[in-house]
């Protein structure tokens, strides 16, 4: 929701502080590594395990992604056929997300590019903003699928380290991420979003550090006793870690280089995730539903915001924007309930019937 609201401000020019979205993406990548390490602690690069893990990831990610990608591609294709490159302006696409794709030659080849995006290869587009062609937020899915390919090969290395070293190794990875960000920025002519968005912010190699930080944080948790876990889940710890996240968001606008923001936030996010992980969310049905719907919210919101902008909604119509937000939530919930969850259930049953999925696993994999 933080990302969706920040993008609502971006598309409609509302001028809200979008630091929430920057923090939320880092929070998600750390959380993803944390949950993968929890749900699949024995993941190894053997034939049986690789098939099981990658198939589970594909079933969880691909059906809804392809559905929304088809919608976004149809929307883009229809608009480009009507207005050409001017369509990106009509739908409120910011310049830094279309700086080198808003040309007739590039947009005319969108059907060919669709196959690459369907296979999560948009990040390798020769245009720096090509990964944002159909719906800009989808870039994070390309990174996630890249991390999932690596995960079975990373876990044996993690397992060989002492769990008590987990947070120390996470700190080293965090420092390395900062070094990589500084190195990339040092080689760019300027540090604005137009120049550095694809090179830094949505660079999978930069984001891999956050995913690995989450893995090592979960590895460390295995070494902790009940006393420390009780301290993590105390009301004081949960409240302080959440206040710390808010503090980083409030400080963010004062930071000269926007790409430093998510790097600075990572240690606070680790603390917040460790604290929240000790609460009994798995026992709350609403949490499972919210977890399922949130993926559809993330996938859908940008295309719906563009549709609203093209329909003439603007910052002077807050009631209409509130209605658009409500429609997005309702449609996401409907698609999760009527399409995504049932389809995934069918695919899991089909794969198990052929012996491709191992039975068992920790309940957390249902949430992720």
DSSP 8-state class, residue 200: I
CA 135, chain centre distance (Å): 13
Tens place of pLDDT for every residue, the chain, 368 residues?
989 999 999 999 998 877 888 888 999 999 999 999 999 999 999 999 999 999 999 999 999 999 999 999 999 999 999 999 999 999 999 988 898 899 999 999 999 999 999 999 988 888 888 999 999 999 999 999 999 999 999 999 999 999 999 999 999 999 999 999 888 888 887 766 667 778 888 889 999 999 999 999 999 998 888 999 999 999 999 999 999 999 888 887 677 665 667 788 999 999 999 999 998 876 678 888 898 999 999 999 999 999 999 999 988 889 999 999 999 999 999 999 999 999 999 999 999 999 999 765 544 444 34
d(CA 163, CA 169) in angstroms, rounded, equals 10
Residue 325's pLDDT is what? 96
What would the pLDDT profile of 279-292 be if each residue is shown by its tens digit? 887 667 888 889 89
Strands (DSSP E) along 186-336, which ranges? none
Q: Count of residues for the chain?
A: 368
Q: Cα dist. 195→95, 149, 346 in Å? A: 11, 29, 44
- Write out the H or E segment, with its range, that includes residue 129: none
* Residue written as token pair 């924007």: 321
Find out whether 152 and 45 touch, Cβ atoms under 8 Å. yes
Q: Which two tokens stand for residue 45?
A: 């690069």
Calculate the dihedral angle through the C-alpha atoms of 318, 322, 328, 331, rounding to the nearest 10 degrees: -130
Give the single-character DSSP code of 160.
T
- Residue of 187, 213, 212, 211 whose CA lies nearest to 200: 187
Q: What are the tokens at 309?
A: 């902008």
Give me the pLDDT at residue 115, please: 94
| Cα–Cα–Cα angle for 200, 21, 366, rounded to 5 degrees | 100
How many Cβ atoms are within 10 Å of 111's Cβ, its own excluded?
Answer: 9
Residues 37 and 214: beta-carbon distance below 8 Å? yes
Number of domains in the chain: 1
Q: Which domain holds residue 8?
A: 2-367
Lookup: tokens for 188 = 């760019």
Q: What is the DSSP string of 274-290?
A: HHHHTS-GGG-HHHHHH
Q: Would you state the pLDDT for residue 322? A: 94
256 is written with which tokens? Answer: 């000269």
């Amino acid at each position: 929701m933080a990302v969706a609201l920040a993008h609502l401000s971006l598309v409609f020019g509302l001028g809200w502080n979008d630091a929430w979205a920057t923090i939320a993406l880092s929070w998600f990548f750390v959380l993803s590594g944390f949950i993968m390490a929890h749900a699949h602690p024995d993941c190894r690069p053997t034939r049986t395990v690789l098939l099981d893990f990658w198939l589970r990831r594909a079933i969880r990610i691909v059906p809804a992604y392809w559905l929304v990608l088809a919608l976004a591609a149809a929307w883009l294709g229809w608009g480009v056929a009507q207005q050409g490159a001017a369509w990106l302006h009509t739908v409120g696409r910011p310049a830094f997300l279309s700086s080198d794709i808003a040309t007739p030659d590039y947009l005319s080849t969108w059907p060919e590019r669709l196959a690459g995006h369907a296979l999560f290869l948009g990040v390798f587009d020769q245009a720096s903003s090509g990964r944002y062609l159909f719906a800009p937020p989808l870039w994070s899915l390309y990174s996630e699928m890249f991390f999932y390919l690596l995960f079975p090969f990373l876990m044996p290395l993690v397992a060989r380290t002492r769990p008590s070293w987990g947070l120390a190794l996470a700190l080293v990875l965090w420092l390395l991420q900062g070094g990589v960000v500084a190195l990339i920025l040092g080689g760019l002519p300027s540090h604005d979003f137009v120049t550095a968005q694809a090179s830094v912010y949505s660079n999978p190699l930069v984001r891999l550090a956050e995913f690995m930080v989450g893995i090592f944080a979960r590895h460390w948790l295995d070494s902790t006793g009940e006393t420390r876990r009780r301290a993590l889940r105390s009301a004081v710890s949960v409240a302080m870690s959440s206040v710390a996240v808010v503090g980083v968001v409030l400080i963010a606008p004062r930071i000269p280089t926007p790409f430093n923001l998510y790097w600075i936030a990572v240690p606070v996010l680790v603390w917040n995730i460790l604290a929240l992980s000790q609460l009994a969310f798995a026992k709350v049905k609403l949490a499972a539903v919210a977890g399922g719907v949130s993926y559809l919210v993330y996938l859908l919101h940008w295309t719906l915001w563009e549709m609203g902008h093209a329909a003439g909604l603007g910052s002077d119509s807050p009631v209409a924007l509130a209605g658009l937000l409500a429609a997005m939530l309702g449609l996401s919930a409907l698609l999760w309930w009527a399409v995504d969850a049932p389809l995934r259930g069918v695919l899991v049953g089909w794969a198990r019937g052929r012996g491709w999925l191992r039975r068992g696993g920790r309940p957390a994999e249902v949430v992720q």
